[in-house]
Amino acid sequence: MIDLLGTSLPVFIAVTVVLTGGAAFMTGHALSANWRPAWQAVGYSCLLGLADRFIIFSLFGGELLLLSGYVIDTAIIMAIALLSYRLTRARSMVAQYPWLYERAGPFGWRERSAG
């Protein structure tokens, strides 16, 4: 696991999922709340992946330039950001256009039936 992630599993969970994942959640929320396109979350997730690798390297002695670690970290960060984006977009669509849409689960909305 250390060869794949470049660090131990507890450090991976603490830094990637909790710390950087929280930043990714806020990024997705902010992008969606300001009606930005979803592809911007992908770019910001790549930058957060770089910051994640640097934190793991500088604070915990992990490998900085490990491609597999960067790809795994960034994929998790990107998933969190895009889920947050979609969650906020569904909430915004229903709140802003209640006469047109109703909730269809936590990540979706549908057109309101006419009767």
112 in a structural domain = no
Residue 109, beta-bridge partner list: 103
Structural domain count of the chain: 1
99 in a structural domain = no
**Can you give the residue range of the structural domain that contains 34?**
2-87
97 in a structural domain = no
The C-alpha atoms of residue 25 and residue 81 are separated, in whole angstroms, by 5
Tell me what pLDDT residue 75 has: 98
Tell me what pLDDT residue 115 has: 58
Residue 110, beta-bridge partner list: 102
Query: What are 18-59's pLDDT values in tens digits?
Result: 999 999 999 999 999 999 999 999 999 999 999 999 999 999
Query: What are 89-114's pLDDT values in tens digits?
Result: 999 999 999 999 999 999 999 998 87
pTM of the full predicted structure? 0.92
74 in a structural domain = yes
